[in-house]
Chains A and B, each alone.
With several copies, the nearest count.
Chain A
Amino acid sequence: MAYEIRIKDNQETIEILNKKGSLLEVAIGDRNYKLDIVEVEKGVYSVLLDGDSFNIELIPVENKKYTVNTLYHSFDVDIIDAEARYMMSRKSAEDDDQSTISTPMPGKVVRILVEEGQKVKAGETVIVVSAMKMESEYKAANDKTVKQVLVKEGDNIDGNQPLVIFE
């Protein structure tokens, strides 16, 4: 049960020390909390801590990743178990910068400005995607060479789908 949790850039150990119904005692880093946590709707928790009432909304991004919305803030939270630690160590070794271009939301490819094998400069627009009557340009972060273009103009695309791969 050796878990760590990352929120913003902070990574700390987390452990449930005790639970009784909805009452929990949790240690995170060097802090201890006694909370009353109830899932009231799917993905929505009511949390009471020292009398304060919080409504917490969870949006699972992947298996161990959440976007967590509180009243005034939104956090990305990663749960890190042994498997995740292994994956992270591999990933950070093999690629440390942007090697693919994708969009955060679904849309439609309007224009592709590069071809396979083409060299692009940092800041050069690679692809233009439209969603909800707005066009967004996606640019290369560094000087690169285009390895593969996975879509064509007019294609409908999903969010986070790889569109262009660099070498």
Chain B
Amino acid sequence: MIKKILVANRGEIAIRVMRTCREMGIKSVAVYSEADRSSMHVRYADEAYCIGPAPSNESYLVIDNIIDAAKRCHADAIHPGYGFLSENAGFADRCEQEGIIFIGPSSHAINTMGDKITARQKMLGAGVPVVPGTSEPIQEIDKAIKVIKEIGLPVMVKASAGGGGKGMRLIHEESEIEPGIKAAQSEALAAFGNDAVYIEKYINSPHHIEFQVLADKHGNCIHLFERECSVQRRHQKVVEETPSPIMTPEVRKEMGAHAVAAARAVNYASAGTIEFIVDDNLNYYFLEMNTRLQVEHPITERVVGVDLVKEQINIANNLPLRYKQEDLKQNGHAIEVRIYAEDPDNNFMPSPGKVMHITEPLGLGVRHDGYVYEGYTIPMFYDPMISKLIVWAPTRKEAVERMKRALYAYKITGIKTSIPFLSRVMNTPAFVEGRYNTHFIQDNQQYLEPKDDASQKIRDVAAITAFVDYISKIESKTRVSSNGSSVSNWKAFGRKKSLNRL
């Protein structure tokens, strides 16, 4: 059985994995770059080892350094989190060679699902619906034009090795076909060293719905229902919820069965996610499989009541799944928002820097997974996500109200964050009513842009408070120099004077 796990990651996900290790009585080991010496995952772990300089490609992405650290501390297993090496088949293989358990699927599963075209072929074979399109990589323009005419416009051209929106082109009209394909090919070559592209029917205004699966090494595979992830900005998820507001029990059952079939097709054994695109009539198509834990896994944990990291570790320990499909049900409604260090009122400009002050939202139905603390300087080298706020309530309506309340109470100063933007999402009618697709953000600009609606009174209160702070600092300096005491009258609250005279 696994007794010590090295977590090859940083930030909130490293801590989230270590929490489960601690509950299971497993020692946790942090690895850190030089920029992360004071990061919370180093502080939370039982052990910690430096694996190189700040840039990820000199630390968190260097397989040799991570393997070295794992051997030095005699870790039985490595958990890769998400991002970094989590979907690197070479890393999974290397772990196996070194006799270290990789907590994730086999390199075969990662490789098969990592290449879009191979994945598509597997899914066709497994009877999982895929978006109409090419089943082989295309390099010649003429062939591409022929295929596009068969499928019918609009289509999406995608890099075969791609991800994250790179090497993608949407083609609406015939005249765009040739330049579109060429642009996608050259981007794909630059980004992934491979100019193969493939072509898919473009689903207009789609929903992005994914299914969580868990599979063990004994042939058991279950799904943990769906997550609705259609609120996206530049292909990055911003808000996720479960259940999906547009789902029906019948479609859920069918999609769940297809998700299980997809996982089985690659002999999957760990936690994984099958992403589908879904049109307004609930026609759904396999998009890709993420062969790792997802950022948004907590909403599933909350509604289904399963600790996904614990299940990953149990599967890595060769244990059979402890849940059967019929044991699981969706209980209530959960929503997650991602808090980024960025300025939503200034084109989402990244905002690294020093966190002055945090007030975390607490109370009934609120989960907060973060890693920053007061006085912590958010480094500029990594992903700007600083925390995730997850709420649960018996109904969707109440969950939205609870998220508003939690965002109201959540204060981080010193850096700009996306909290105000997320509050506006929670107040946008289309979101409140559950009528939205992946065009939500572009379709709802009037609700999502900052408003200059402050009253005279609130502006005056803001100005007065700043002024009082300024004056009190001047007075306190004067007082210190005159009598050596730094006690300021301005802070002398709670004294015996009656405060309610006014």
With an 8 A cutoff between CB atoms, is B43 at the interface?
yes
- Against B, the Cβ 8 Å flags (1 = close, 0 = not) of A147-167 are 000000000100100000000
Determine if A22 and B383 form an interchain contact, defined as CB atoms under 8 angstroms apart. Answer: no
How distant is A35 from chain B, measured CB to nearest CB, in Å?
Answer: 7
Identify whether the interface residues of A are mostly helix, strand, loop, or mixed: strand
Q: Would you call B467 an interface residue if the criterion is a C-beta within 8 Å of the partner chain's C-beta atoms?
A: yes
B contact residues, total (Cβ < 8 Å): 69
Knowing A36-B499, A52-B46 touch, does A46 contact B38 (C-beta < 8 A)?
yes
Option from B462, B490, B491, B493 in Cβ contact (under 8 Å) with A70: B462
Asked if A47 and B502 make an inter-chain contact with CB atoms under 8 angstroms apart, the answer reads no
Contacts A39-B491, A51-B47, A53-B45; A14 near B408 (Cβ below 8 A): no
Q: Which of B108-140 contact A (CB under 8 A)?
A: none
* Measured CA separation A16–B467 after assembly (Å): 9
- Report chain A residues within 8 Å CB of B72: 51
Given A40-B376, A131-B350, A3 contacting B493 (CB threshold 8 A): no
For the complex, is B143 an interface residue (Cβ under 8 Å from A)? no
A132→B468 contact, CB < 8 A: no
A5, B465: Cα distance in complex, Å: 11
In the assembled complex, A37 has its CB within 8 A of some CB on chain B? yes
Output the least CB separation between A74 and chain B (Å). 8
Determine whether the beta carbon of A41 is less than 8 Å from that of B373.
yes
Closest to A104 in B: B349
Contact with A along B451-466 (1 / 0, CB 8 A): 0001011111111111
Q: Per DSSP, are chain B's interface residues mostly helix, strand or loop, or mixed?
A: mixed
Rounded to whole angstroms, the CA-CA distance of A37 and B501 in the bound complex is 14
Interface readout for B159-187 with A: 1 if CB under 8 Å, 0 if not? 00000000000000000000000000000
Q: Whose C-beta in chain B lies nearest to the C-beta of A15?
A: B467
Q: Which residues of A contact B345 (CB under 8 A)?
A: 74
Residues of A9-58 whose CB lies within 8 A of B: 10, 14, 16, 19-24, 26, 28, 31, 33-49, 51-58
> CA–CA, A133 to B457, complex, Å?
40
B37 CB-CB contact with A under 8 Å: yes
Which one of B43, B420, B469, B493 lies within 8 Å of A58 (CB-CB)? B469
Among A55-86, those with CB < 8 Å from B are: 55-59, 64, 66, 68-75, 77, 79
Binding site for B on A (CB under 8 A): 3, 5, 7-8, 10, 14, 16, 19-24, 26, 28, 31, 33-49, 51-59, 64, 66, 68-75, 77, 79, 104-108, 131-134, 136, 156, 159
Q: Chain B residues in contact with chain A, CB under 8 A?
A: 29-30, 37-38, 42-49, 72-73, 341-343, 345-346, 349-353, 356-357, 373-376, 380-384, 408, 411, 413-414, 420, 423, 454, 456-472, 489-493, 495, 497, 499, 501-502
